[in-house]
Amino acid sequence: MDSSGFIVPPPNLIPPREDTGTETRRAPARSGKLPVFRPPTAPDVMVGAQSREPRWRLVLPTGRFIPLDGTVLVGRNPVGFGPWGEAELITVDDPASSVSKTHAAFEPSSGSVRVTDVHSTNGIVVVAPGGAETELVPGIPADAANGAVVRLGRLVVRVERV
């Protein structure tokens, strides 16, 4: 028995190592220098600059403004799920009970706001500034331009560019 503290395997458990004929050599020293990180200079960084993307907001019937800095889910008691798991949740008061628990997703884009019916009970209609109405198919996003009115059941929400 070995008293060094190591376990010695029984004989013939580990096959003998065959000589592979290879040699171990030291790698040559690097001749070039590694790249150095340099933070951007002042002209490259525009501190406090306004974004060139248009900003959007929703105007609720109460006059409340909801800024669209990212995706927003609107409903009586909305819950984030699926592709909208991280969305901001906006609760609306609907005395007529025509708005679903989670009714619609609003996502800002450069030229419009994308509206998606998230399989609501009473549907969504987008009314363009010219008066053309588009009834949304659940799960299929549609664009709402500046000044468009979005009907969530009986609740009316206006889309505005700021």
DSSP 14-83: SPPPPP------PPPPP-SPPP---PPPGGG--TTPPPSSPPEEEE-TTS-EEEESS-EEEESS----GG
Closest Cα partner for 157 from 60, 65, 68, 92? Answer: 60
Percent of the chain with pLDDT over 90: 59
What pLDDT score does 42 carry? 57
What pLDDT score does 53 carry? 58
For residues 94 and 102, is the Cβ–Cβ distance under 8 A?
A: no
| Residues 125, 133: Cα–Cα separation, whole Å | 6
When mean pLDDT is compared across 15-24, 64-73, 131-140, the lowest value belongs to 15-24
CB atoms within 10 A of CB 142: 19
| pTM attached to this predicted model | 0.67
| 77-125 pLDDT per residue, tens | 999 998 989 999 999 998 889 999 999 999 998 889 999 999 999 999 9
Question: How far is the first Cα of the chain from the last one, in angstroms, to the nearest whole number?
Answer: 83
Closest Cα partner for 106 from 159, 64, 34, 37? Answer: 159
What pLDDT score does 98 carry? 95
| 120-144 pLDDT per residue, tens | 999 999 999 999 999 999 999 999 9
Strand partners, 104: 74, 117
Closest Cα partner for 98 from 71, 80, 79, 125? Answer: 125
| Residues 59, 158: Cα–Cα separation, whole Å | 5
pLDDT at 47 > cutoff 60: no
Q: What is the mean pLDDT of the chain?
A: 84
Across the range 35-61, mean pLDDT stands at 68
What pLDDT score does 23 carry? 63
C-alpha distances out from residue 38 to 31, 35, 41, 45, Å: 22, 9, 8, 13
Which two structure tokens, joined as six digits, stand for 107?
């996502």
